[in-house]
C-alpha cells in the first residue's frame, strides 16, 4: 500500500496578508498557457490593490506626522474681528450712554527658539524611516508567503504526475488479475489485495487534487493571477552561500535596522524631555484697524518679543526626563540582545540548510537510481521478462524517491528564502 504524506513543512502561513488580500482578484489576469515565474508572482502580489493601499496609507501617516513637526518652524497668522456694544445708564441722572466699537486685526507669530523642536523633527524623520523598514519587512514576509504557495503547487503537481502513472499501471494490473481469477490462474485474495491497493491510490489521487486546487485558490488570491496558470519549475540549487556571507549582513537585518531607529527615537525623546527646561522665544507682529478706543479711530501696528521661561513645574519635567532616559537604556538593551539572537538564528538556519543540502544530494541520487530501475522494468515488461506486479512495485519505489527528492528540494528552497529574509534579502 502506498502512503503519500505531504508534511506540514510546506503549510502556507498566509497570516495577515490573506486577510488583506482576500478580495484581491483584480489586475492583469495571465492566461493558463503562460508560464509564471516566482518573481513575477511576487511582483503581481505587490500590486494587488488592498496590499498596495495598505502600505501607502502607512507611509502617508508617518509623513504627515513629520510635516506636523516641521510646521512649528513656520509662522502662524491669525485674523480676528471684534465688535463691542456698551450701554451705560446713570442712576442719578437717568441718562443712558451707548458706545459701539468695531476693530479687525492680524497677528503673525514667528517662533525664534523652541527647546526640543529640532529633536522632534529628527524623531519624526526616524519614524518615517522605521515605516519604510517595516514595509520592507512586510514585503519580505509577502515574498515568503507567495514562495511557500508557489513551491507547494509545484510539489503537488510533480507528485500528482507520478501518482497518475501509478494509478494507470495499478488499474491495468487489477483488470489482468480479474481475468486470471475468472479462468482459475490467480487467487481471489490476490485480486482483492490489488483492488484494495488500487482504490487506495485513487483516494490519494483525489486528496492530492483537492490540495492542489485549494493551493491554487490561495495563489490566485495572493497574486490575482488565474488559478490555472502554469508555474515555472524552480532552478536546482547547486551551492549554498557560506555562513560568513550571512553573518556579515546582520546589520542589514530589517529587525535590527528598525531597533536601531527605535534607539535613536528614544534618544531624541530624552532630548525633547530635557528641553522643557529651556525658554521659548517668539516674535509677534500685530496690526489693528478700526475704532481702537472710544476716542480714537485708525490703524495700529506693534512688534514684540515674547520670552517664556519655565521656572518650576513641580518636578514633572525631571520625572519625564528620567523616564525617557530609562526608555533609551531599554531600547539599547533590546538592540544588543537582538543582535546576539539574530546571530544565533542565522547559525542555526545555516546549519539546517547545510544538512538539508547534503540530504538533497542523496535523494537526487536515489531518484536517478529509481528512475532507471523503473525504465528498465518498463522495457522488460514488453519483452515478458518481468510481471506487471514487479513493474508496479518499481513504479511505487520511483514515486517514493521522487516525493522524497521534491520535498527535500522545496524545503531547501524555503530554508534559503527564510535565511535570506533574515538578513533583508529576497533570495
**Structural domains in the chain, sorted by start:** 8-74+116-277+316-422 (1.20.1600.10)
Each residue's pLDDT tens digit, 64-96: 888 888 888 888 899 988 888 777 777 777 777
Question: What average pLDDT does this structure show over 11-16?
Answer: 37
Q: Which of 135-144, 162-171, 360-369 is predicted with the least confidence, judged by mean pLDDT?
A: 162-171
Grid cell digits, residue 10? 510546506
Q: Which pLDDT value is given to residue 343?
A: 93
Q: Which pLDDT value is given to residue 150?
A: 92
pTM (2 d.p.)? 0.72
pLDDT at 225 over 60: yes
Q: Which pLDDT value is given to residue 366?
A: 92
pLDDT at 320 over 50: yes
Confidence label for 206 from pLDDT (cuts 50, 70 and 90): very high
Confidence label for 26 from pLDDT (cuts 50, 70 and 90): very low
User: Kind and range of the H or E element at 266?
Assistant: helix 254-274
Confidence label for 382 from pLDDT (cuts 50, 70 and 90): low
Cβ within 8 Å of residue 149, ≥6 positions away? 12, 14, 215, 218, 219, 222
Question: What average pLDDT does this structure show over 364-385?
Answer: 83
Confidence label for 427 from pLDDT (cuts 50, 70 and 90): low
Grid cell digits, residue 97? 450712554
C-alpha 268/C-alpha 89 separation (Å) is 61
User: Kind and range of the H or E element at 6?
Assistant: none
Q: Which pLDDT value is given to residue 334?
A: 94
Backbone angles phi, psi at 19, to 5 degrees: -65, -40
Neighbours of 351 (CB within 10 A): 11
Grid cell digits, residue 383? 519483452
Cβ within 8 Å of residue 306, ≥6 positions away? 281, 282, 283, 284
pLDDT at 20 over 90: no
Each residue's pLDDT tens digit, 153-177: 988 888 888 888 878 878 887 887 7
Question: What average pLDDT does this structure show over 27-44?
Answer: 71
Of 238, 249, 282, the closest CA to residue 73 belongs to 282
Q: How far is CA 304 from CA 166, 184, 228, in A?
A: 94, 118, 74
Q: Which pLDDT value is given to residue 355?
A: 93
Question: What average pLDDT does this structure show over 207-222?
Answer: 93
Average confidence score pLDDT of the chain: 82
List b or e across 157-196, with b for residues whose CB sees 16 or more CB atoms inside 10 angstroms.
bbbbebbeebbebbeebbebbeeebeeeebeeeebeebbe
Question: What average pLDDT does this structure show over 267-281?
Answer: 87
Amino acid at each position: 500500500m502506498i502512503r503519500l504524506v505531504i508534511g506540514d513543512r510546506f503549510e502556507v502561513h498566509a497570516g495577515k496578508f490573506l486577510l488583506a488580500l482576500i478580495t484581491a482578484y483584480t489586475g492583469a489576469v495571465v492566461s493558463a498557457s503562460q508560464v509564471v515565474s516566482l518573481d513575477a508572482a511576487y511582483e503581481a502580489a505587490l500590486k494587488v490593490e488592498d496590499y498596495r493601499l495598505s502600505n501607502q496609507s502607512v507611509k502617508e501617516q508617518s509623513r504627515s506626522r513629520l510635516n506636523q513637526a516641521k510646521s512649528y518652524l513656520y509662522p502662524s497668522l491669525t485674523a480676528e474681528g471684534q465688535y463691542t456694544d456698551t450701554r451705560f445708564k446713570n442712576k442719578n441722572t437717568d441718562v443712558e450712554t451707548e458706545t459701539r466699537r468695531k476693530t479687525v486685526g492680524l497677528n503673525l507669530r514667528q517662533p525664534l527658539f523652541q527647546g526640543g523642536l529640532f529633536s522632534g523633527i529628527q524623531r519624526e524623520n526616524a519614524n518615517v524611516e522605521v515605516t519604510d523598514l517595516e514595509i520592507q519587512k512586510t514585503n519580505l514576509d509577502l515574498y515568503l508567503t507567495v514562495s511557500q504557495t508557489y513551491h507547494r503547487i509545484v510539489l503537488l503537481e510533480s507528485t500528482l504526475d507520478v501518482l497518475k502513472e501509478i494509478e494507470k499501471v495499478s488499474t491495468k494490473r487489477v483488470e489482468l488479475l480479474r481475468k486470471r481469477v475468472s479462468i482459475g490462474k490467480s487467487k481471489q485474495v490476490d485480486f482483492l489485495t490489488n483492488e484494495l491497493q488500487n482504490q487506495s491510490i485513487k483516494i490519494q489521487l483525489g486528496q492530492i487534487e483537492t490540495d492542489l486546487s485549494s493551493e491554487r485558490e490561495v495563489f490566485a488570491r495572493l497574486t490575482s493571477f488565474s488559478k490555472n496558470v502554469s508555474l515555472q519549475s524552480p532552478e536546482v540549487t547547486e551551492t549554498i552561500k557560506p555562513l560568513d556571507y550571512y553573518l556579515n549582513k546582520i546589520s542589514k537585518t530589517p529587525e535590527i535596522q528598525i531597533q536601531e531607529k527605535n534607539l535613536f527615537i528614544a534618544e531624541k525623546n530624552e532630548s525633547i524631555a530635557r528641553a522643557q527646561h529651556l525658554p521659548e522665544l517668539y516674535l509677534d507682529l500685530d496690526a489693528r484697524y478700526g475704532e481702537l478706543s472710544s476716542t480714537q479711530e485708525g490703524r495700529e501696528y506693534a512688534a514684540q518679543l515674547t520670552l517664556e521661561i519655565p521656572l518650576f513645574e513641580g518636578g514633572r519635567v525631571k520625572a519625564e526626563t528620567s523616564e525617557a532616559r530609562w526608555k533609551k537604556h531599554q531600547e539599547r538593551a533590546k538592540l544588543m540582545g537582538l543582535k546576539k539572537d539574530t546571530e544565533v538564528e542565522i547559525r542555526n538556519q545555516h546549519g539546517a540548510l547545510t544538512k538539508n543540502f547534503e540530504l538533497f544530494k542523496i535523494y537526487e541520487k536515489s531518484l536517478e537510481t529509481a528512475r532507471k530501475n523503473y525504465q528498465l522494468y518498463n522495457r522488460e515488461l514488453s519483452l515478458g521478462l518481468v510481471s506487471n506486479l514487479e513493474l508496479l512495485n518499481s513504479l511505487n519505489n520511483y514515486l517514493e524517491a521522487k516525493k522524497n527528492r521534491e520535498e527535500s528540494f522545496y524545503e531547501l528552497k524555503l530554508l534559503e528564502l527564510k535565511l535570506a529574509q533574515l538578513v533583508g534579502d529576497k533570495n
